[in-house]
């Protein structure tokens, strides 16, 4: 006799980058096992691919995690995870007043959102006529670039990867039509002020963030800790 079929519930959320309504479901045990095995391997590529496959499956093949902004991927995973194994998580946070004392806090994943900064834009004015249009980093970008790296060369590489197009008046230069040499020479010719516009794009771009107030049990001082990125919620 065949075992009964289980009905998986479906939910709806708003994709942060587009505002579109997306249906999703909790992840299944087989998907959770694949992700856990990838995490245990310590291989960033395996983790990336397992996470991407999980999100694609749980959004009924609507979302391609390799093509949407990284903050979409992080937000989607937190929502899927919440509906799969519970919205409440315990997390250990470092007290900001002494940077050594840790406290446990209980966080509801439903309270976590994408922080959209007022005034943020992907359109960078280089001159009165010349503008650069940027795209947001994807899952591939963050994995390939090692998101923990912060050297100046890493910054330059990420900028080069995320250039979408350059406009000079009515003339449009698409990224696919630029050689690496041409783009490098263009970026190298920017003034410090012009280059700052590019770094501001990354500094102010939408991020999965959550602020938590903590009280140091040793000093009794209160402080605020900002948690950012999905790895911060599950370390």
pLDDT in tens, 67-110: 999 999 999 999 999 999 888 888 999 999 999 999 999 999 88
- Pairwise CA distance, residues 36 & 155, whole Å: 31
Higher pLDDT, 116 or 147: 116
Same structural domain, 81 and 105? no
Same structural domain, 67 and 95? no
Domains: count for the chain: 3
- Pairwise CA distance, residues 32 & 68, whole Å: 22
Average of pLDDT values for 139-143?
Answer: 84
Residue 198 Cα distances to 33, 117, 122, 144, 194, angstroms: 40, 16, 9, 20, 7
Residue 123 Cα distances to 39, 118, 119, 201, angstroms: 37, 14, 11, 9
Are the C-beta atoms of 206 and 115 separated by less than 8 Å?
yes
Check pLDDT > 60 for residue 25: yes
The reply to whether 116 falls in a domain is no
Same structural domain, 218 and 174? no
Structural domain that includes position 69:
8-86
Same structural domain, 44 and 79? yes
Same structural domain, 149 and 190? yes
Looking at residue 165, its pLDDT comes to 97
The reply to whether 166 falls in a domain is yes
To which H or E segment does residue 105 belong?
strand 102-108
Looking at residue 231, its pLDDT comes to 73
- Pairwise CA distance, residues 175 & 164, whole Å: 5
**119-140 pLDDT, tens per residue?**
999 999 999 999 999 999 999 8
- Pairwise CA distance, residues 55 & 81, whole Å: 10
Same structural domain, 162 and 186? yes
Q: How many CB atoms lie within 10 A of CB 184?
A: 13
> DSSP assignment of 62-103, as one string?
---TTTSBHHHHHHHHHHHHHHHH-SEEEEEEE-TTTSS-EE
The reply to whether 2 falls in a domain is no
- Pairwise CA distance, residues 79 & 12, whole Å: 10
Is 48 strand, coil or helix? Answer: helix
The reply to whether 192 falls in a domain is yes
Q: Quick one: which of 35, 37, 30, 33 has its CA closest to 52?
A: 35
State the first-to-last Cα distance of the chain, in angstroms, to the nearest integer: 44
């Amino acid at each position: 006799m065949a075992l009964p079929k289980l009905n998986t519930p479906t939910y709806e959320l708003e994709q942060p980058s587009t505002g579109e309504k997306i249906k999703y479901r909790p992840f299944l045990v087989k998907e959770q096992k694949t992700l856990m095995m990838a995490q245990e391997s310590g291989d960033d590529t395996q983790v990336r691919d397992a996470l991407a496959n999980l999100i694609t499956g749980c959004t009924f093949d609507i979302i391609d995690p390799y093509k949407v902004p990284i903050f979409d991927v992080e937000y989607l995973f937190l929502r899927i995870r919440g509906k799969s194994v519970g919205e409440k998580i315990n997390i250990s946070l470092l007290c900001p007043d002494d940077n050594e004392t840790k406290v446990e806090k209980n966080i509801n994943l439903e309270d976590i959102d994408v922080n959209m900064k007022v005034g943020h834009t992907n359109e960078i004015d280089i001159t009165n006529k010349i503008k650069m249009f940027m795209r947001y980093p994807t899952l591939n970008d963050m994995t390939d670039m090692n998101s923990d790296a912060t050297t100046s060369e890493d910054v330059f590489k990420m900028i080069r990867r995320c250039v979408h197009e350059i406009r000079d008046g009515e003339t449009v230069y698409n990224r696919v039509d630029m050689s690496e040499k041409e783009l490098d020479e263009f970026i190298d010719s920017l003034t410090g002020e012009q280059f700052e516009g590019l770094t501001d794009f990354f500094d102010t771009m939408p991020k999965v963030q959550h602020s938590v107030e903590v009280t140091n049990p040793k000093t009794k001082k209160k402080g605020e800790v900002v948690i950012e990125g999905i790895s911060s919620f599950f370390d």
